[in-house]
Amino acid sequence: MTQPEHPTSAVYSSLNPTPLATRIVDHGAIARNIGRIREITATPILAVVKADGFGHGIIEVATTALRSGAAWLGIATVDEALALRSAGIDAPVLCWLADPWCDLRAAIAQDVTISCANVETLEAVAVLGCTAEVHLELDTGMSRGGAGEENWNSLFTAAVASSSVRVTGLWSHLALATHAEPEATTAQVQSFERGVARARALGLAPGVLHLANSAGALEHPDTWFDLVRCGAALYGIETVVGRGHDLEPAMRVVSRVTQRKRISAGTGVSYNHDWVASADTTLVLVPVGYGDGIPRDLSHGGEVVIDGVRHPVVGAISMDQLIVDVGDAVVTLGDEVVLLGSPAAGEPDPQEWGAVTGTIAHEILTGLGGRMARRHTNQTQGTIP
């Protein structure tokens, strides 16, 4: 073996390899965000951990959420539900995208509560012959999932007639709770209450009623009922336009400077040269790109932080790398580059990226990944093994 070139360098050493880019998940922030929701709503919380916990890690987030007082976990698919059970998590789990072709038998055998929005799925559950707990999904104005009002009677009647299906809950989803005007949300609450009354009149006794998402939980007390389903708020996304609730972003994304070069005024940069330096300047290379979920549009207005200073991303973002214009700042190879961090510290957060790239923070967070490493910490209690 050849000797490393600089084995004693304090600045860099291949003897201490570090991932090129890392998502650092702060479980202290998730716990504090759940604390904020509990303070505000005083209502049991269903922690939404779908899509790998919005990119934060489904099992790790589920564990922290339950330790922080969440009563339920919510996910979209049967596979996600089974992943929770395989990890030994035995808390109540609601799965809202099951259809007749999913592995309903496995889900029911693992005590997953299945959401049904139509008679077909209800029948697919019933024919299995084992007792299954079901929450019925009503459409109260979102016009996405859920039984429309014209189908409530047939859905409720089929549920009452089935001996193996136990309807333990009734729920719906809000379309406009992030808006300042509450009228549309109030209309959904009224529709939901009509649905509940109809279900009871037909002989159902749904114990758990739930309607609120994060925005409902934070801003609309009339949507709380028995359970609030929170995703975004757990991860520190402030979804309500113009309102803050002291939530903290739970993910930090860091990389480092791997190359640096001085260029002169007039030099075109990256594919198509769609950015041209207007003055002599220094560019640095950061080894993450759209293959890791960095949106290409970030090169039109996106910024990163190096040594506490914001610098613009310039030139087309590549699959594996992006370029930052640091001007005349002194930047050294190996310097940390903060892509996402704490807005309180002046660092970009997923909402800022969303505003720059024309999307929402949820899409930014669930899109990140690729070759990035992920590390779990707890700012108050040290690293989680």
Ligand X SMILES: *Cc1c(COP(=O)(O)O)cnc(C)c1O
- Closer Cβ to ligand X, 43 or 255, answer by number: 43
Given a contact cutoff of 8 angstroms between Cβ atoms, the answer to whether 195 and 152 are in contact is yes
Give the separation between CA 210 and CA 198, rounded to whole angstroms: 16
How many of the other CB atoms lie within 10 Å of CB of 343?
17
Between CA 366 and CA 373, with CA 369 as vertex, the angle to 5 degrees is 130
- Asked whether position 340 contacts ligand X by CB under 6 A, the answer is no
Give the separation between CA 39 and CA 239, rounded to whole angstroms: 18
Among the listed residues 73, 208, 232, 338, the single contact to ligand X using CB under 6 A: 232
Residues pairing with 262 in the sheet? 282
Among the listed residues 55, 231, 236, 249, the single contact to ligand X using CB under 6 A: 231
Report which DSSP code applies to 147.
B
Q: In angstroms, what is the minimal distance from the CB of 226 to ligand X?
A: 14
Q: Where does this chain touch ligand X (CB under 6 A) — which range of 223-231, 305-313, 327-335, 373-381? A: 223-231
- Closer Cβ to ligand X, 170 or 233, answer by number: 233
How many helices (H) does the chain have, and how many strands (E)? Answer: 11, 20
**Residue 236 in tokens:** 């520190």
- Asked whether position 33 contacts ligand X by CB under 6 A, the answer is no
**Residue 201 in tokens:** 């009149």
Binding footprint of ligand X, residue count (CB under 6 A) = 13
- Asked whether position 213 contacts ligand X by CB under 6 A, the answer is yes
Give the separation between CA 325 and CA 332, rounded to whole angstroms: 13
Q: In angstroms, what is the minimal distance from the CB of 214 to ligand X?
A: 3
50 is catalytic: yes
Q: In angstroms, what is the minimal distance from the CB of 362 to ligand X?
A: 6
Q: Is the dihedral of CA 215, 368, 304, 6 positive or negative?
A: positive
Q: Where does this chain touch ligand X (CB under 6 A) — which range of 2-10, 61-69, 212-220, 343-351? A: 212-220
Q: Where does this chain touch ligand X (CB under 6 A) — which range of 9-17, 231-239, 245-253, 326-334? A: 231-239
Binding mask 90-119 for ligand X (x = CB under 6 A): ------x-----------------------
Report which DSSP code applies to 130.
S
Q: In angstroms, what is the minimal distance from the CB of 134 to ligand X?
A: 15
Q: Where does this chain touch ligand X (CB under 6 A) — which range of 26-34, 37-45, 224-232, 292-300? A: 224-232
Tell me the one-letter amino acid at 40. I
Given a contact cutoff of 8 angstroms between Cβ atoms, the answer to whether 145 and 139 are in contact is yes
- Closer Cβ to ligand X, 211 or 323, answer by number: 211
- Angle, helix 58-67 to helix 27-41, in steps of 10 degrees: 50
Among the listed residues 62, 117, 230, 365, the single contact to ligand X using CB under 6 A: 230
Among the listed residues 214, 223, 321, 357, the single contact to ligand X using CB under 6 A: 214
Listed in sequence order, the residues at least 6 apart from 30 whose beta carbon sits closer than 8 Å to its beta carbon are: 56, 61, 64, 65, 68, 234, 235, 250
Residues pairing with 22 in the sheet? 254, 373
Maximum CA pair distance of the chain? 81
Give Cα 331 to chain centroid, integer Å. 33
50, 235, 261, 290: which is the annotated catalytic residue? 50
Angstrom CA distances, 355 to 218, 350, 369, stand at 22, 9, 20
12 is catalytic: no
Given a contact cutoff of 8 angstroms between Cβ atoms, the answer to whether 178 and 232 are in contact is no
- Closer Cβ to ligand X, 29 or 215, answer by number: 215
- Closer Cβ to ligand X, 76 or 89, answer by number: 76
Among the listed residues 23, 36, 135, 173, the single contact to ligand X using CB under 6 A: 173
Among the listed residues 239, 318, 321, 351, the single contact to ligand X using CB under 6 A: 239
Among the listed residues 31, 48, 208, 254, the single contact to ligand X using CB under 6 A: 48
The catalytic site residues sit at 50, 271
Positions in the binding site for ligand X (CB under 6 A): 48, 50, 96, 173, 213-215, 229-233, 239
